[in-house]
Amino acid sequence: MIYLDTNVLIAYINPKDALHRRAVNLLSRRSGEGFVASQLVVLELYSVFSRVMSVSDEELEALVNYTIKACGVEVVQVEWDEVYRSALSYANKLKLKVLDLLHVVVAQLAGAKTFMSFDRDINSMASVIEELLDLRVIGLDYDRV
């Protein structure tokens, strides 16, 4: 199971995104492995789209739902108290920004084995994330795909 970071979903649906082709290739090659995301990804999609587009609440919801469906993502639920505790225990080891830290912790708690992201900070910590969370990071490093 592969956890998709928000930036992958956005790149996938936006043909003008610099990483669009990369996202399309990655998702098509890995489609048999199952894609998941969390409520955090959904919230980020709402936030990003609302900042860059002038749409009604209904249109915003439709766009988020379209993005999730187009990417073939199942939105999984996690226990946020557990996310909080786990994030606290990894914060000093991973030294990621809070949303990045939450995403990798949520991915691990959701049972994902792979984390797909175009985030440079997450990709730069790929070996540490894999060692600590048993979560393989793919996205920017062409050799790890």
Domains contained in the chain, CATH given: 2-138 (3.40.50.1010)
Which residues make beta-bridge pairs with 9? Answer: none
Residues shown for the chain: 145
Chain segment 63-107, per-residue pLDDT in tens = 999 999 999 999 999 999 999 999 999 999 999 999 999 999 999
pTM of the shown model: 0.93
Sequence-ordered alpha helix ranges (H) in 1-143: 6-13, 20-30, 39-52, 57-70, 80-94, 98-109, 120-124, 126-133
In angstroms, the CA 48 to CA 142 distance is 26
What would the pLDDT profile of 11-34 be if each residue is shown by its tens digit? 999 999 999 999 999 999 998 999
